[in-house]
Amino acid sequence: MTKFNELNLNPKVLKAIEEAGYETPTPIQAGAIPPALEGKDVLGIAQTGTGKTASFTLPMITLLARGRARARMPRSLVLCPTRELAAQVAENFDTYAKNVKLTKALLIGGVSFKEQDALIDRGVDVLIATPGRLLDHFERGKLLLTGVQIMVVDEADRMLDMGFIPDIERIFSLTPFTRQTLFFSATMASEIERITDTFLSAPARIEVARQATASETIEQGVVMFKGGRRDREASAKRKVLRALIDSEGDKCTNAIIFCNRKTDVDICAKSLKKYGYNAAAIHGDLDQSQRMKTLDGFRDGSLRLLVASDVAARGLDIPSVSHVFNFDVPGHAEDYVHRIGRTGRAGREGKAITICSGRDEKALDAIEKLIQKDIPRLDNPVKEEPKAEKPKPEKKSKPEDSKKAEGKRGDRKKDKESKGRGRRDDNGPAVVGMGDHLPSFIALSFAERRAG
């Protein structure tokens, strides 16, 4: 088995690696570092959580250890799809370059241009940026890319998903043709292959796992969910989520819960907090300082449940996530691999549970085709409520029944009429307007009354 001290890295870099507690490189590191140190282009294809970041930061630090950057002309460039991933790459450089005098700058949104301009003006050896913010600085005339010796594109497939490919192509055209390019992706879509064919020169291709495969250390499961009434479906689904978290007990030390929409991220996080769970939301609409504060809380263990959109699905290096819950089945099968890759990292065991409603079954089929295995079905921890008995329909009356009813109504009508007009006695005349208790003297004729 290869050791880091066999990879011809700078002794000061090796010391930092040792102080960080690492001895043995991961397969992608062992495959990518030697050709990178030789100055070759590298195309690395590996699932998330395999140590891709160190596979380019370590050789970059070694290659850049000699030399000095000029103002506004960075010596190397690392492009990342999200602010969080860019910040993580910057942390990696801080860890491994602490014994080497290298300067760096982080260009991401949510931070003032003034602070970033001041760093660029002093000259940086390593520039880490998201594509949009990098081009903003370039168009303002604050940055030149003609001095870039090493260019890294990290999480290229995520760049494709987020629509950054035109920006990436433009940035490539602004850098020298003689640059060294290190290109990393978890999957190789046709558009990604086109870019690598265009901008990489005879790259060393390192593929350490089948494309879009999930780590074998992750136990997967799916709960088939029947929503019932549409207006109560979301609430019932959140109840299933809480029951799943509870069923894992102490084994669920922390978890990332993924939702497809930002609005659902907020609703889900608020619902969990309402029921007493230690949870917080993270998605692209939050302020950068709030996002970083939430991530720091999740990393240091003060936050147990992180409810996230796919902005947090890739590249976040949180080594000890015990569980991933997919509140929604992702619309793109590749996103499933990246989501569950947040657990089971660095050889640890992890568990990923997905809640699948009826309308998501096609997306689930696509995921199983991609990962080339069936995901085990789990019992729904929430027992379905017994169905309420339907009220019995009223009996339709038959024609003969209606005739009988009509007859009864007629009899009642005659009775009323007879009461209204008076009643004929067998022995006397009919009396109008009086009841049965008629005073006897009124029934007498006028002559009889006079005689009496």
377 Cβ neighbours under 8 A, 6+ residues apart: 221, 222, 223, 224
The Cα 310–Cα 413 span in angstroms is 77
Please report the pLDDT score of residue 446 as a whole number: 56
Please report the pLDDT score of residue 342 as a whole number: 85
**Average pLDDT of span 103-127:** 91
* Range scoring the smallest mean pLDDT among 3-17, 141-155, 215-229: 215-229
Beta bridge partners of 206: 44
Please report the pLDDT score of residue 66 as a whole number: 84
Please report the pLDDT score of residue 188 as a whole number: 82
The structure tokens listed for 307 are 């409810």
Higher local confidence (pLDDT), 444 or 140: 140
pLDDT single digits (tens) 177-213 = 999 999 998 878 888 999 999 999 999 999 886 656 6
Percent of the chain with pLDDT over 70: 81
pLDDT at residue 395 above 60?
A: no
Please report the pLDDT score of residue 287 as a whole number: 78
Local confidence band at 388 (pLDDT 50, 70, 90 cut-offs): very low
Domain assignments of the chain as residue spans, ordered by start: 4-207, 218-378, 417-452
**Average pLDDT of span 423-427:** 47
Higher local confidence (pLDDT), 281 or 51: 281
Q: Which CATH class is domain 4-207?
A: alpha beta
218-378 shares the fold of 4-207 = yes
pLDDT at residue 438 above 90?
A: no
Give Cα separations from 178 to 49, 271, 392 (angstroms): 31, 54, 82
Report which listed range, 118-122, 173-177, 259-263, 421-425, is most confident. Answer: 173-177
The Cα 218–Cα 348 span in angstroms is 8
Please report the pLDDT score of residue 248 as a whole number: 94
The dotted CATH code for 218-378 is: 3.40.50.300
**Average pLDDT of span 393-404:** 53
Please report the pLDDT score of residue 214 as a whole number: 73
Output the CA torsion 38→42→47→48 (10° steps).
80
Beta-sheet strands, E only, within 31-93: 42-45, 76-79
pLDDT single digits (tens) 223-268 = 999 877 777 889 999 999 999 999 999 999 999 999 998 899 999 9
DSSP string across 104-151 = EEEE-TTS-HHHHHHHHHH--SEEEE-HHHHHHHHHTT----TT--EE
272 Cβ neighbours under 8 A, 6+ residues apart: 238, 241, 242, 257, 279, 305, 307
Please report the pLDDT score of residue 386 as a whole number: 46
pLDDT at residue 307 above 90?
A: yes
pLDDT at residue 316 above 70?
A: no
* Range scoring the smallest mean pLDDT among 180-184, 292-296, 412-416: 412-416
pLDDT at residue 175 above 50?
A: yes
pLDDT at residue 327 above 90?
A: yes
Please report the pLDDT score of residue 400 as a whole number: 54
pLDDT single digits (tens) 364-384 = 999 999 888 999 999 999 875
Please report the pLDDT score of residue 422 as a whole number: 47
Local confidence band at 347 (pLDDT 50, 70, 90 cut-offs): confident
Higher local confidence (pLDDT), 408 or 186: 186
The whole-chain average pLDDT of the chain stands at 84
**Threshold 0.75, pTM exceeds:** no
Please report the pLDDT score of residue 426 as a whole number: 47
- Tracing tokens 């329909």 back to the chain, one arrives at 393
pLDDT at residue 420 above 70?
A: no
Please report the pLDDT score of residue 32 as a whole number: 96
Q: Number of C-alpha atoms within 13 angstroms, CB side, residue 56?
A: 30
